[in-house]
């Protein structure tokens, strides 16, 4: 983009006399000169192809102010250098214009050679600056892309590298981010000295980098809090007010902790409180399903914090249960009283959990997958968790074809295999 090769000079003035003077100096110089006595006509200098502007100091004060305002507001103008052209007796006017933002000045009388030397030197400096600017921009883009790649790698590290291998159970998962980084995640790990399988699927309600950062937070907190060995639900008795009416009835309502249920409650409740306490202004929230499975008998305890209900199908493809909400999405309200719900899985049963990226996936026509389509896909008996996910995966690929994927797609399938 060598501007000065075009050698276009725009002269901005409002007095014919000065124009004549400038014209005299410029006459024999190798520039294409354009004259403008209306600053609005010359609003877009780059459009005119101007590589430099000569500004006459005799321009009225309000006109020169407008001139510099236009220079700032019109895209590209600020990159075109401005030289003030003035009589050597007008130093005060020159000073004013320099303060307004002119790059240099030349005082008359002068000679064409001196004027050319000044123009060339300013053009050279401008050229250098532009070059440096482009270079910085390229470097920044490269760095951003690199950072994004690293972020993607780190985020992949938040997903479990291996899913728990438990006798009698098969666990499988899929994860397809819509962009470089995602707001969805899934997790599965053992709790209570390998006595329980914990599994989580979550969807941060946003996209891109903000969602990815939040995903990292939610995933880390739930994992860490799940591994805390204390229960929140009922040590409150130490501080409870027994004089309150019905206080004693609390015993019947209070559920005694059983293996892993403290972890389940800790993970959801403490994560919610943390987000509400520290990130309420970020307006971020996440829907999350946290399941706790006893692999010895198929008993499932869970908390569903505003997430799409996972489904349990029996071996013949009958829908046995939809594991509905037991509390609000994480980060929405303080002190949510999350309750633990229970379900039973029998040998042959299959649990399918997903994020709304599945049902809201779109075909090029704009048509959504919808829950109805998903349910009919799931109703066909599957021989394994992987087969089921493959089936949904293939369907989605076919459905979306060349359409853009708008949301992250995450799925998890857990099957109680026959022993």
Q: Which is nearer to another protein, 189 or 234 (CB)?
A: 234
Which among 257-265, 279-287, 359-367, 382-390 is the span making contact with another protein, rule CB under 8 A? 257-265
Q: State yes or no: residue 240 binds another protein (CB under 8 A).
A: yes
Binding mask 191-220 for another protein (x = CB under 8 A): xxxxx-------------------------
Q: Which is nearer to another protein, 156 or 240 (CB)?
A: 240
How far apart are CB 340 and another protein at their closest, in Å? 11
Q: State yes or no: residue 235 binds another protein (CB under 8 A).
A: yes
Tell me, letter by letter, the H, E, C secondary structure of 41-79. Answer: CCCCHHHHCCCEEEEECCCCHHHHHHHHHHHHHCCCHHH
How far, CA to CA in Å, does 97 sit from each of 114, 139, 382, 401?
A: 21, 35, 79, 60
Is the bond leading into 383 cis (omega within 30 degrees of zero)?
A: no
Cα–Cα distance, 154 to 201 (Å, whole number): 18
Residues in 262-281 at the binding interface with another protein, rule: CB under 8 A = 262-263
Q: Which is nearer to another protein, 1 or 238 (CB)?
A: 238
How far apart are CB 289 and another protein at their closest, in Å? 20
Contact 112, 25 (CB under 8 A): yes
Which among 33-41, 253-261, 325-333, 344-352 is the span making contact with another protein, rule CB under 8 A? 253-261
Q: State yes or no: residue 257 binds another protein (CB under 8 A).
A: yes
Q: State yes or no: residue 260 binds another protein (CB under 8 A).
A: yes
How far apart are CB 263 and another protein at their closest, in Å? 7
Give bridge partners of residue 148 from the DSSP assignment.
none
How far apart are CB 235 and another protein at their closest, in Å? 6
Dihedral, CA of residue 403, residue 378, residue 301 and residue 305, to nearest 10? 30
Vertex 418 angle, CA 175 and 294, to 5°: 65
How far apart are CB 254 and another protein at their closest, in Å? 8
Which among 47-55, 172-180, 235-243, 387-395 is the span making contact with another protein, rule CB under 8 A? 235-243
Among 60, 162, 238, 404, binds another protein (CB under 8 A): 238
Q: State yes or no: residue 110 binds another protein (CB under 8 A).
A: no
Cα–Cα distance, 202 to 184 (Å, whole number): 6
Question: Which secondary structure element, helix H or strand E, spans residue 324, and what is its range?
Answer: none
Dihedral, CA of residue 10, residue 15, residue 20 and residue 24, to nearest 10? -50
How far apart are CB 302 and another protein at their closest, in Å? 15
How far, CA to CA in Å, does 116 sit from each of 78, 110, 199, 245, 348?
A: 21, 10, 75, 95, 88
Task: Tell the residue number behind the tokens 């430099």, with chain if given.
Answer: 52
# residues near another protein by CB under 8 A: 27
Inter-helix orientation angle 16-26/112-158, to 10°: 90
Q: Any residues with CB less than 8 A from the CB of 322 and at least 6 apart, and which?
A: 309, 310, 311, 312
Which among 103-111, 186-194, 330-338, 411-419 is the span making contact with another protein, rule CB under 8 A? 186-194
How far apart are CB 155 and another protein at their closest, in Å? 29
Q: State yes or no: residue 370 binds another protein (CB under 8 A).
A: no
Among 259, 384, 387, 417, binds another protein (CB under 8 A): 259
Using left for φ > 0, alpha for ψ between -120 and 50, and beta otherwise, residue 295 falls in alpha
How far apart are CB 242 and another protein at their closest, in Å? 5
Contact 160, 189 (CB under 8 A): yes
Binding residues for another protein, per CB under 8 A? 191-195, 229-231, 234-235, 237-238, 240, 242, 247-248, 250-251, 254, 256-263
């Amino acid at each position: 983009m060598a501007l000065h090769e075009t050698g276009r000079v725009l002269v901005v003035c409002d007095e014919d006399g000065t124009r004549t003077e400038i014209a005299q100096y410029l006459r024999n110089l190798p520039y294409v000169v354009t004259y403008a006595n209306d600053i609005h006509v010359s609003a877009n200098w780059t459009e005119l192809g101007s590589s430099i502007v000569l500004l006459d100091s005799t321009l009225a004060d309000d006109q020169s102010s407008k001139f510099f305002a236009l220079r700032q507001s019109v895209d590209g103008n600020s990159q075109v250098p401005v030289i003030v052209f003035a009589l050597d007796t007008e130093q005060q006017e020159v000073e004013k214009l320099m303060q307004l933002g002119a790059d240099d000045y030349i005082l008359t009388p002068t000679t064409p050679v001196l004027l050319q030397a000044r123009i060339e030197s300013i053009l050279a400096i401008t050229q250098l600056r532009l070059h440096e600017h482009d270079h910085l921009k390229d470097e920044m883009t490269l760095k951003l892309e690199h950072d994004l790649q690293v972020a993607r790698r780190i985020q992949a590290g938040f997903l479990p590298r291996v899913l728990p291998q438990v006798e009698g159970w098969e666990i499988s998962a899929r994860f397809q981010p819509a962009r470089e980084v995602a707001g969805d995640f899934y997790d599965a790990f053992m709790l209570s000295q390998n006595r329980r399988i914990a599994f989580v699927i979550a969807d941060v309600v946003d996209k891109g980098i903000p969602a990815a950062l939040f995903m990292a937070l939610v995933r880390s907190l739930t994992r860490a809090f799940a591994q805390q060995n204390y229960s929140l639900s009922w040590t409150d008795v130490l501080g409870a007010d027994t004089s309150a009416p019905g206080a004693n009835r609390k015993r019947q309502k209070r559920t005694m902790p059983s293996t892993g249920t403290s972890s389940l409650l800790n993970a959801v409740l403490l994560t919610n409180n943390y987000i509400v306490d520290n990130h309420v202004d970020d307006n971020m929230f996440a829907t999350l399903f946290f399941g706790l499975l006893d692999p010895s008998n198929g008993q499932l305890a869970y908390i569903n914090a505003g997430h799409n209900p996972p489904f349990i199908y029996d071996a013949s493809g009958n829908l046995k249960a939809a594991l509905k909400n037991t509390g609000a999405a994480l980060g929405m309200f303080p002190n949510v009283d999350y309750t633990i719900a229970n379900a039973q899985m029998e040998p042959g049963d299959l649990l399918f959990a997903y994020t709304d990226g599945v049902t809201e996936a779109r075909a090029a026509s704009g048509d959504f997958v919808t829950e109805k389509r998903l349910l009919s896909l799931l109703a066909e008996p599957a021989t394994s968790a992987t087969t089921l996910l493959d089936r949904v995966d293939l369907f989605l690929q076919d459905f979306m074809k060349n359409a853009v994927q708008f949301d992250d797609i995450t799925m998890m399938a857990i099957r109680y295999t026959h022993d």
